[in-house]
């Protein structure tokens, strides 16, 4: 059983927080924009490491056909339950990224790989595998924690200047949710992997540009404050310079 299967409760608790909800809300917006740019009608979407369908759900809800690939049977069962009754089709496949080339799933209009790369050993190898699942002129969306945000959050939010200094050069950081080390991947490393795989037209989004620098978690849970924060995050997610220091980078790129 993997570390993801043994932390289902902490994962669900994270998703229910104000900052968890904002992460999924903003990504639903950026993926909706990406889908619109790919054409009319239901799209074929693949979500690799899609877990319990947090990103797949809004896509299925508007009628897209989404395949979620993930090695966790427990998370996939939650994805199926959440997608029940949606207009689009949700299919789940219990497998890892490495198994994709042997699975014959075909090519997809949009491939999503969010918050998985940091748990894998090699960004370029993972992106090369993902690239083969994207149809010509299709899109690939990658997302991972943004290392500069970890430095800023330690200094600003926690006033822990020692941790902030250490985080300037630390190659890994511990995931609190999964109690597991994560490689610290910056957006430039992911962009280089996309370029090597011949992807172009890279759009960078910032997911949670300000939320993680606000000290009071209690205020974030207040409905009126939450609503304002969510709408500010939606306004900032595609704006320079805020995307540079957001909690997560998201890169959406096109296959030629």
Ligand X SMILES: C[S@@+](CC[C@H](N)C(=O)[O-])C[C@H]1O[C@@H](n2cnc3c(N)ncnc32)[C@H](O)[C@@H]1O
Contact by Cβ (8 Å): 209, 255: no
The CB-of-73 to ligand X minimum distance in angstroms stands at 10
Q: 18, 43, 44, 70: which one contacts ligand X (CB under 6 A)?
A: 70
Under rule CB under 6 A, residue 58 binds ligand X: no
CA separation for the pair 17, 139 (Å, rounded)? 30
Q: What are phi and psi of 46, to 5 degrees?
A: -115, 125
Question: Taking the complex as a whole, how short is the minimal distance between the CB of residue 175 and ligand X, in angstroms?
Answer: 8
Q: Is residue 48 involved in binding ligand X (CB under 6 A)?
A: yes
Task: Name 65's Cβ contacts closer than 8 Å, sequence gap at least 6.
Answer: 42, 43, 44, 45, 88, 89, 91
Closest by Cα among 128, 101, 112 to 43: 112
Rounded to a whole number of angstroms, the minimum distance from the CB of residue 6 to ligand X is: 11
Question: Is 51 among the residues that bind ligand X (CB under 6 A)?
Answer: yes
- 119 part of the interface to ligand X, by CB under 6 A: yes
Cα atoms in the Cβ-side hemisphere of radius 13 Å centred on 111: 29
Of 116, 131, 142, 207, the one binding ligand X (CB under 6 A) is: 116
* Biggest CA pair distance of the chain: 52
Binding of ligand X by 54 (CB under 6 A) = yes
Among positions 71, 88, 145, 206, the unique one binding ligand X when judged by CB under 6 A: 71
- Residue 203 as a binder of ligand X (CB under 6 A): the answer is no
Applying CB under 6 A, which part among 47-55, 159-167, 204-212, 229-237 lies near ligand X? 47-55
Q: Of 72-111, which residues contact ligand X (CB under 6 A)?
A: 72, 75, 96-97
Residues 1-30 as x/- pattern, contact with ligand X by CB under 6 A: ---x--------------------------
Nearest partner of 116 among 167, 68, 84, judged by Cα: 68
Specify the residue, 77 or 161, whose C-beta has the smaller distance to ligand X: 77
d(CA 223, CA 225) in angstroms, rounded, equals 6
Ordered alpha helix ranges (H), 84-160: 123-131, 147-152
Cα distance between residue 7 and residue 2, in whole Å: 9
- The residue among 59 and 75 lying less far from ligand X, judged by its C-beta, is 75
Chain residues binding ligand X by CB under 6 A are 4, 48-51, 54-55, 70-72, 75, 96-97, 114-116, 119
């Amino acid at each position: 059983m993997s570390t993801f299967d043994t932390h289902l409760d902490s994962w669900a608790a994270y998703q229910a927080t104000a900052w968890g909800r904002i992460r999924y809300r903003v990504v639903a917006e950026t993926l909706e924009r990406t889908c619109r740019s790919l054409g009319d009608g239901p799209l074929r979407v693949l979500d690799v490491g899609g877990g319990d369908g947090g990103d797949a759900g809004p896509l299925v809800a508007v009628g897209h056909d989404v395949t979620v690939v993930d090695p966790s049977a427990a998370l996939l069962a939650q994805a199926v339950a959440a997608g029940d009754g949606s207009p689009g089709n949700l299919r789940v496949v219990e497998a890892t990224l490495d198994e994709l080339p042997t699975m014959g799933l075909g090519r997809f209009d949009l491939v999503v790989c969010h918050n998985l790369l940091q748990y894998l050993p090699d960004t370029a190898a993972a992106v090369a595998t993902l690239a083969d699942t994207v149809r010509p002129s299709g899109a690939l969306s990658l997302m991972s924690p943004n290392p500069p945000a970890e430095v800023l959050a330690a200094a600003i939010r926690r006033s822990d200047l020692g941790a902030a200094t250490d985080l300037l050069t630390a190659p890994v950081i511990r995931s609190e949710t999964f109690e597991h080390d994560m490689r610290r991947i910056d957006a430039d490393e992911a962009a280089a992997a996309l370029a090597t795989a011949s992807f172009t037209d890279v759009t960078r989004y910032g997911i949670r540009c300000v939320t993680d620098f606000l000290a009071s978690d209690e205020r974030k849970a207040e409905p009126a404050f939450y609503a304002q924060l969510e709408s500010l995050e939606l306004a900032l997610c595609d704006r320079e310079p805020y995307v540079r220091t957001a909690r997560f980078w998201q890169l959406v790129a096109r296959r030629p």
